[in-house]
Amino acid sequence: MRVVVWLVEGTWQGCLDAAAQILPPDARVTLLHVTPSDVGEVTEAATAGLLGRGFRAHRPIRRFEEVADQEALEILQAAATRLGRENSELVHLRGRVEREVVGAVADGVDLLVVARDGDRSRLGPHSLGHATRFIVDHAPCPVLLVWPDEAPGIESMPPPPHGPHREGP
61-108 residue pLDDT tens:
677 778 888 999 999 999 999 998 888 999 999 999 999 999 999 989
Question: Which has more pLDDT, 121 or 48?
Answer: 121
Q: Which of 67-76, 138-147, 154-163 has the lowest mean pLDDT?
A: 154-163
Per-residue model confidence (pLDDT) at position 37: 82
Domain ranges in the chain?
2-37+72-154
d(C-alpha 116, C-alpha 129), whole Å: 7
At residue 119 the predicted structure's pLDDT band, cuts being 50, 70 and 90, is confident
What pLDDT is stored for residue 65 in this prediction?
A: 78
Neighbours of 158 (CB within 10 A): 8
CA–CA distance from 110 to each of 5, 30, 54, 102, 146 (Å)?
11, 11, 49, 13, 17
Domain 2-37+72-154 sits in which CATH superfamily? HUPs (3.40.50.620)
- Residues in CB range of 158: below 8 A, 6 or more apart: 124
pTM of the model: 0.80
